[in-house]
Amino acid sequence: MMWHGVKQPRNPWSDGPEYITQCPIQPGANFTYDIVFSTEEGTLWWHAHSDWSRATVHGPIIVYPANGTTYPFPQPDEEFPITLASWFKGDVMELIESALQGGGEPNKSDALTINGQPGDLYNCSEEGTYKIMVDFGKTYLLRIINSIMNEEMFFAVAQHIITVVGVDGAYVKPFKSDYIMITPGQTIDVLVTANHTPSQYYMAARAYAGVVYDNTTTTAIIQYNGNYTPPSTPSFPNLPNYTDTEAVMNFTSQMKSLSEVNVPKSIDVRLFITISVNTLPCANNSCEGPNGSRLAASLNNISFVTPDIDVLQAYYRQIGGVYETDFPDYPPMVFNYTADDLSDDFLTPLPGTKVRVIDYNSTVEMVFQGTNVMQAAENHPMHLHGYSFYLVGKGFGNFDNASDPEGYNLVDPPEVNTVGVPKNGWATIRFVADNPGVWFMHCHLERHSSWGMDTVIIVKNGSTNGTSMVPPPNKLNPC
Ligand SMILES: [Cu+2]
């Protein structure tokens, strides 16, 4: 189980990802988590972190302003968590297991849902469609969570402008928009004022296209209280087209921290990380990927292999042979990352359990560079456990080390725990490595993570007890 976006200072023991900070909880067994909150305020969420079990095991975490403080915006009249999720016919654990065995694409989901209900556009019961009742003139806080497995989502409310006020458990400078784009792993808090003709309006969500994606549309209804003749169909929002990459950039570019923040200016540890979908050779070309290969994914051409003992335990007890500490600071070669003609077998990745060890309190910069290997470029939501970080810049094409840093926002960049790296583009994050522990970093598109688009950041202890990992709980989960 993981507490997505909860930084868990000095306490990786309760972070949750299987074989990274613990071994999975076996059926009938139990494990007690110690969830330590610090600076988070807003919407976070929890989910299972074992294979694809998060499809059904997830829920919101809401952190309210501390006693005696208020929201940095007018107090909403009411609030609703809006959880987007995937629905599969069949057993999701079996689905990913057989996909990994065969080496091909896992099945797409059969529906997308809002608070557990697919809504009126699917061939199933309309009675369950999720509905919010509103009063004219009141303002509502929607805490939107994208728990979907493999799709980034556009979301909008018919005829109502929304005001974005928070992202990933931190406030942002409020801005208005007709729609949002939310990646798996992200949360976005928005205000909606019921200021239209009392009626029924759809809120709807559908994918921003990946290489393979569920193109269905999930809906819920905002229904005004009062006496009026309900429309035969509620009005429908204008969602951006599936492939509207510009709409994604236009939306995400508006996110800024509420006020000036303390962004690291001089950098101790600099990583340049390419993000690729790849293929691995398969005996007798008998797998279900392109030309009989096995689908894989990588960071800096290392395709992460999940160990049998969790990395945290191996690190703490100094058990050898579980992981290696040579995750590279840059890809094995410089190439035109976003070219159109990169072949399917361009740079076969190296499978391995490679981690990057970082000294306590280092200032860290990571530039994520999406690649077009296999013509499989898409927006990758990179998520780091144990931290939130500042998203200081992003753009399309190959990162230019000379000119692109000039455009960094070092004044009020948004503080997030997941960054959508633009399709065929790059994104730069900065943070201070002040949380000692073992922290998973991975793409939050589940099939990419299953294919190896992951690594682990180990932040060493500082020099005092207060800057070191807390001791392990009395009862660790057996492997
Ligand atoms: Cu990805």
Residue-level pLDDT, tens digit, the chain, 479 residues: 788 899 999 999 999 999 999 988 888 888 889 899 999 999 999 998 888 988 989 999 999 999 999 999 999 999 999 999 999 999 999 999 999 999 999 999 999 999 999 999 998 766 789 999 999 999 999 999 999 999 999 999 999 999 999 999 999 999 999 999 999 999 999 999 999 999 999 999 999 999 999 999 999 999 999 999 999 999 999 999 999 999 999 999 999 999 999 999 999 999 999 999 999 999 999 999 999 999 999 999 999 999 999 999 999 999 999 999 999 999 999 999 999 999 877 889 999 999 999 999 999 999 999 999 999 999 999 999 999 999 999 999 999 999 999 999 999 999 999 999 999 999 999 999 999 999 999 999 999 999 999 999 999 999 999 999 999 998 888 88
Contact 135, 77 (CB under 8 A): yes
Q: Among 290, 294, 279, which residue's Cα sits nearest to residue 99? A: 294
Residue 14 CB contacts under 8 Å (≥ 6 apart), including other chains:
3, 8, 21, 33, 34, 35, 36, 473
Domains of the chain: 67-252 (2.60.40.420), 269-467 (2.60.40.420)
Contact 274, 248 (CB under 8 A): no
207 to 84, 246, 249, 420, 448: CA distances (angstroms): 11, 14, 15, 14, 17
Two tokens at 215?
Answer: 């193109």
Q: Among 182, 157, 181, 183, which residue's Cα sits nearest to residue 238? A: 157
Ligand 1 centroid vs 379 CA: distance in angstroms? 7
Ligand 1 centroid vs 311 CA: distance in angstroms? 22
| The one-letter amino acid at 305 | V
Ligand 1 centroid vs 260 CA: distance in angstroms? 31
Rounded Cα–Cα distance for residues 465 and 479 (Å): 28
Q: Could you list which residues have their CB under 5 Å from ion ligand 1?
A: 380, 443, 445, 448
Ligand 1 centroid vs 207 CA: distance in angstroms? 14
Ligand 1 centroid vs 103 CA: distance in angstroms? 17
Rounded Cα–Cα distance for residues 91 and 363 (Å): 43
Ligand 1 centroid vs 455 CA: distance in angstroms? 13
Contact 435, 459 (CB under 8 A): yes
Query: For the whole model, what pTM was predicted?
Result: 0.96
pLDDT on residue 345: 78
Ligand 1 centroid vs 441 CA: distance in angstroms? 12
Ligand 1 centroid vs 15 CA: distance in angstroms? 21
Two tokens at 153?
Answer: 């989502």
Ligand 1 centroid vs 208 CA: distance in angstroms? 13
Radius of gyration of the chain (CA): 22
Ligand 1 centroid vs 376 CA: distance in angstroms? 10
Ligand 1 centroid vs 272 CA: distance in angstroms? 16
Ligand 1 centroid vs 79 CA: distance in angstroms? 31
Contact 88, 53 (CB under 8 A): no
Rounded Cα–Cα distance for residues 293 and 311 (Å): 29
Ligand 1 centroid vs 445 CA: distance in angstroms? 5
Residue 98 CB contacts under 8 Å (≥ 6 apart), including other chains:
none
Give the H or E element holding residue 97: helix 92-102
Rounded Cα–Cα distance for residues 423 and 463 (Å): 41
Residue 441, phi then psi, degrees to nearest 5: -135, 125
Q: Among 168, 36, 203, 241, which residue's Cα sits nearest to residue 444? A: 168
Ligand 1 centroid vs 443 CA: distance in angstroms? 5
Q: Among 29, 2, 28, which residue's Cα sits nearest to residue 13? A: 2
Ligand 1 centroid vs 303 CA: distance in angstroms? 12
